[in-house]
Structure 1
């Protein structure tokens, strides 16, 4: 399962980072506007589309690509049908499940439009409409003499003004994202669809076949797909769930490929990759792999183990915490792969060599002096950032206690609501209220007081490992004064209406409350505010140095006739490559797996259980039109050199003509280091083949209605 994370959240979630080298032929998460720079290479690799049309957001395939706010997806019918990964719809499957109605185990298929289920609160579909360069607007008035805090606040104010103007259009969700360390900014405009319904998800015995044992491994036999549908009001406007809403009609949808896919074929992937930092420094890579990832892997292992122990034997809590456990297990395995991959390719040596080449170029000409000054400043800032990351990671564990997280969120909302909307921090403006309500609502089906208490006690042990001078005395005193028994016995925040109701109360109500979790949030507030100010100051200084440093890197690449793809930042990107296996330590990885492999792996024990109907169809060789002419059977998953990362989950894998051939959902364990450094000899992505998806839909799950809707004949 591909991960998603934010850049600075390397302190709280897994991050990607590095590679200061210009892009190789298959490397790069390219912006649509960069198509002309790489058109010749793409055509040489096998692209049959006009590259100019490929980069046009008003034409297929890009206009059919959507974001789920953490995963990617694509429209596959004119009736708003959207395909993505099983693990991307997993939260909605879990939210609609309960003992006696276990859609996680049994799967879900709506027999009709009317029987499609509302997605989990907060489920959204974002349809890309435009990407506009707004660098001049964001950086206007900035001065190198400003403090880091003032610089960050000026940039944020400019971003908010641009977002506000963009969102004056109804039903739009806009954001201004930084590229090349803040050297460039683009305004991303998307249509926000709020009524998202679960249409179909195969049982976990298909969608999560192999579980964590097979995660990040090859050969792979996972049917990682699921379907949502986008709904809007009758007048076409975006609206929250209502029975009389109607399916959304996208500008275009993807065509399902009919030509067989084979070894060596050109493929592309389009989606919203999360965050990488290939353009970070060698020092950042060394710290991340030598210090941060080992600590982070243990941090997640302890978390997952605690939940598994606390929910063992209890069906209700196992379902409630299923998506949380799956995410934690995915991250911890990724962290192990990151460490192993870095050692295998000699990451530190490669990064140091690449950086030396760039800095030697800087030193070779007085005209490059500004890049040298930026490099020196950035090195100092990076050293400062390193001192914060482990402590911030441990602090983040406190929000595993969901009622404490709710109390802190509600108090922060009250504090920001006291300001004019334009002066509030991003994430706490009026535009964000609904998403906060939905996040707090989700707790009702993902919370158990006994489990939550265990996780809070574990979080307190993590906090105790922070150096004493970095701990918050007010927080510790408040926990001691309340006592953990009282925190859970005296709170009313487990009640959803009560929890949501706090969003309408002023700060004074929080300060006068006797709810123990509210009191704890109030005690933490000054320390939280101080940490945010320090973080913003560091962010502003980082932007000032890194933006200049990376402008120099772009100039260095241009001097060699090469282009540099910006690091992923959850905006629309595409990458390209080819179907191919690889050799590894005496083994040959074939590029396709088959349904025979599914049956061979099936043991009848988790996570290698397969539906009886699927096994019977394979034994009967009932392949129909889905048999590959070369393989003689149905392909399941395939390998390619596509350059993907977290957020690419569910991304459409396209052939040379822009037709859907699969869905990207994972990489191989030794290749996850590609978030830091792309090494073509080991980097492989895994996609589920759309022929396996359609075969299961027709022969196993009886989803012929959906196949017909997608135009499959």
Structure 2
């Protein structure tokens, strides 16, 4: 009986559910839309994707790594604070610390431009699998597919730009490469910082509360899209650009929510692996997550210690530390969930069913081979652990390593082509971005740690021989010499690349040794990875055929997706979680700042969050200011900043996190435990009003 129940659990868990799935919009299954209506969605289907004022038209790709939403007729954008983190940091100095103290632009003129930041609007999407197959895709070996698709994408991009120079296209694989979709985008490259709450609110709770519930973080920042004044279209940054005027934007809801209310999130989820085999999950657990946790723990301890000792260092490393620690903690939680729910065993039992179905039907006989897949993964496991240790240790973790990589990979060489000895590279002075003492200690510790963790001497970079012979195993002495003697650490001075002194340079040799080893790791894994990818493709195809009567969504790949569900809590160990947090709960945590610095908040925040009257920002049912709330939507990294809508398509807030109890959701959606943590738009507006006194923005949004 226990085995039968486990098998049924596996079948249900791996199929599609009403509140599971990251659905593409242009081909949304009718069965899914009907379920949305039963949950409380009130708009016609064309209001999702097709019409001029479709909900998707307000949703943006923010910077190529997050999501966001347009909330005004003048191009105002809401995204998460942690999505705007690096932009806020880049404008911060010790004298004007916008990261620590927040930022408020009182006028358009004060809004701050951000180099290399862009936002993208999805124009349309379509299936181009048949077109690619007609051009020869289906006859190619797996190792040639990527280059072929890239070449076709380039040709199609050129064609569409000839019709409209503001558009670009992407062709991406879906369903593990069994399908290919073409997505058309319009990019805006002039995006300016408008408003940010202080770090005490935007990152309240820090790593203590990251991935945890209950949550009180006011995780949002505000930007504005600027456009060509003549065309209202995309333009490079110019002081003459004007606020962008979209055809439609998201209306803010002040009505709140209650348990069971419809909730829909649109955004750009980055990557999931729901179709991944049991062998792939074991590799993720043992060879990716575990070593990532170990290495990041070493460098984060050093970063945090230096950050807490010096405000200037904190500004430089805030964003780096946050980026590192986010998926450090995610990897810890994912492995915990994989173990606690027995996910590998569940997948194995599902694969037994699939294998039996294949034997009965003959589908993909001679292609999908479970024994071959197991053998391939077994061969690659140790190599994957090597790659994880290498990339987590050496891939631009410190300034010397960053420059060493850059000097080997595509850095522009200046100087006359006919005079090789006068050709040079040059590094700008970026000392405001890093601290020498922090970087040197971190690199020395990582070098030592890599050697301790690496059991196969074939994957030790050659410079370890130098450390042993010339520096007698002293990693600190080696690192000090690198930073002191290497030409790579010159700022603003030519470094002549064809002179003997360059070839003998310690830092240059360090980079060459790393480049050679990375190439070896890649070569050792290459064919195994091609063969595994092909088996995973056939595994997905078999699942889709066996479940052809069910709607199935593709894994996330940073294309726009919609996920729907309901507002509500979850129960763990017989204890209900509650589905929202209040201003009072935040104020109570603030009182613990002496014991935990991540609960610090300025006196004004104590005053604002202990108010007796929150005015129009109070919830009509509870009468208090609600801060964050739970929904059972299906999200992952990249969804940060995604708008969460009610049944009328109105904005309830922004998604910003998942919960600790379901951190295996990238590979398994637990319907009972998986929850999205959202920041309430009324909390956001309250901070804009009572702290920021941003009357012009509130008026623009339409709440004043």
What's the TM-score once normalised by structure 2's chain length?
A: 0.87
| Deviation string, structure 1 residues 654-692 (Cα, Å, up to 9, x no partner) | 111111101000111011111111111111111011111
| Deviation string, structure 1 residues 83-131 (Cα, Å, up to 9, x no partner) | 0011111111111112122212211111111111123x43221222222
Residue matched to 1:548: 538
* C-alpha separation in 2, matches of 1:61 and 1:711: 18
Residue matched to 1:601: 589
Residue matched to 2:571: 583
Choose from 400, 420, 424 the match for 2:397: 400
Q: Does 1:21 align with 2:21?
A: no
C-alpha deviation, 1:476, in angstroms: 4.3
- SS of aligned partner of 1:616: helix
Residue matched to 1:12: none
- SS of aligned partner of 2:409: helix
- SS of aligned partner of 1:445: helix
| Deviation string, structure 1 residues 530-557 (Cα, Å, up to 9, x no partner) | 5445555444434433323212111111
* C-alpha separation in 2, matches of 1:442 and 1:107: 27
Distance 1:467 1:615, change over 3 A: closer
Q: Does 1:272 align with 2:263?
A: no
C-alpha deviation, 1:611, in angstroms: 4.0
Residue matched to 1:248: 244
Residue matched to 1:632: 623
Residue matched to 2:322: 326
Bigger mean CA offset, 269-278 vs 233-242: 233-242
Residue matched to 1:342: 338
* C-alpha separation in 2, matches of 1:459 and 1:160: 40
C-alpha deviation, 1:635, in angstroms: 0.8
Residue matched to 1:711: 702
C-alpha deviation, 1:513, in angstroms: 5.4
Distance 1:473 1:87, change over 3 A: closer
Which one has a bigger Cα radius of gyration? Answer: 2
- Paired residues for 1:126-145 under 5 Å: 126-139=120-133, 140-142=135-137
Residue matched to 1:182: 177
Distance 1:445 1:364, change over 3 A: farther
* C-alpha separation in 1, matches of 2:338 and 2:45: 34
- SS of aligned partner of 1:597: helix
- Equivalent pair of 1:362/1:368 in contact (CA under 8 Å): yes
What's the TM-score once normalised by structure 1's chain length?
A: 0.86
Residue matched to 1:659: 650
Q: Does 1:413 align with 2:410?
A: yes
Distance 1:74 1:287, change over 3 A: same
Distance 1:650 1:411, change over 3 A: same
| Deviation string, structure 1 residues 437-473 (Cα, Å, up to 9, x no partner) | 9xx9795432122222222223322432334454265
- Equivalent pair of 2:262/2:565 in contact (CA under 8 Å): yes
- Paired residues for 1:79-90 under 5 Å: 79-90=74-85
* C-alpha separation in 2, matches of 1:467 and 1:321: 31
Distance 1:525 1:35, change over 3 A: same
Bigger mean CA offset, 264-273 vs 295-304: 295-304
Residue matched to 2:682: 691
Residue matched to 2:421: none
Choose from 195, 200, 204 the match for 1:205: 200
C-alpha deviation, 1:629, in angstroms: 1.8
- Equivalent pair of 2:568/2:631 in contact (CA under 8 Å): yes
Q: Does 1:122 align with 2:136?
A: no
C-alpha deviation, 1:141, in angstroms: 2.8
Distance 1:441 1:681, change over 3 A: farther
Bigger mean CA offset, 222-231 vs 327-336: 327-336
* C-alpha separation in 2, matches of 1:468 and 1:40: 56
| Deviation string, structure 1 residues 214-233 (Cα, Å, up to 9, x no partner) | 21111111111111112233
* C-alpha separation in 1, matches of 2:702 and 2:35: 32
- SS of aligned partner of 2:182: strand
- SS of aligned partner of 2:662: helix
* C-alpha separation in 2, matches of 1:510 and 1:150: 39
Residue matched to 1:296: 292
- SS of aligned partner of 1:674: coil
- SS of aligned partner of 1:364: helix
- SS of aligned partner of 1:32: coil
Residue matched to 1:671: 662
* C-alpha separation in 2, matches of 1:553 and 1:202: 47
- Equivalent pair of 2:380/2:525 in contact (CA under 8 Å): no
* C-alpha separation in 1, matches of 2:150 and 2:553: 24
| Deviation string, structure 1 residues 188-220 (Cα, Å, up to 9, x no partner) | 232222222111110112111222212111111
Bigger mean CA offset, 123-132 vs 654-663: 123-132
Choose from 173, 190, 195 the match for 2:190: 195
- Equivalent pair of 1:74/1:83 in contact (CA under 8 Å): yes
| Deviation string, structure 1 residues 545-570 (Cα, Å, up to 9, x no partner) | 33232121111111xx2111111111
- Equivalent pair of 2:617/2:682 in contact (CA under 8 Å): yes
- SS of aligned partner of 1:653: strand
| Deviation string, structure 1 residues 373-404 (Cα, Å, up to 9, x no partner) | 4x444434333432322111111121212332
Residue matched to 2:511: 521
- Paired residues for 1:371-390 under 5 Å: 372-373=368-369, 375-390=370-385
- SS of aligned partner of 2:225: strand
| Deviation string, structure 1 residues 117-150 (Cα, Å, up to 9, x no partner) | 123x43221222222323245454357784x544
* C-alpha separation in 2, matches of 1:511 and 1:233: 49
Distance 1:241 1:633, change over 3 A: same
* C-alpha separation in 2, matches of 1:524 and 1:555: 44
Residue matched to 2:580: 592
- SS of aligned partner of 1:680: coil
- SS of aligned partner of 1:97: coil
C-alpha deviation, 1:515, in angstroms: 5.2
Distance 1:608 1:414, change over 3 A: closer
Bigger mean CA offset, 61-70 vs 251-260: 251-260
- SS of aligned partner of 1:222: coil
* C-alpha separation in 1, matches of 2:522 and 2:120: 29
* C-alpha separation in 1, matches of 2:503 and 2:227: 40
- Equivalent pair of 2:482/2:506 in contact (CA under 8 Å): yes
Residue matched to 1:54: 48
- SS of aligned partner of 2:571: strand
Residue matched to 1:434: none
- SS of aligned partner of 2:454: coil
* C-alpha separation in 1, matches of 2:323 and 2:270: 15
Distance 1:301 1:173, change over 3 A: farther
Matched positions, count? 665
Unaligned regions of 5+ residues in structure 1, if any? 1-17, 418-436
- Equivalent pair of 1:93/1:103 in contact (CA under 8 Å): yes
- Paired residues for 1:331-480 under 5 Å: 331-369=327-365, 372-373=368-369, 375-396=370-391, 397-398=393-394, 399-413=396-410, 444-464=431-451, 465-471=453-459, 474=462, 476=464
Q: Does 1:557 align with 2:547?
A: yes
Distance 1:80 1:443, change over 3 A: farther
- Equivalent pair of 2:58/2:248 in contact (CA under 8 Å): yes
Distance 1:160 1:210, change over 3 A: same
Residue matched to 2:69: 74
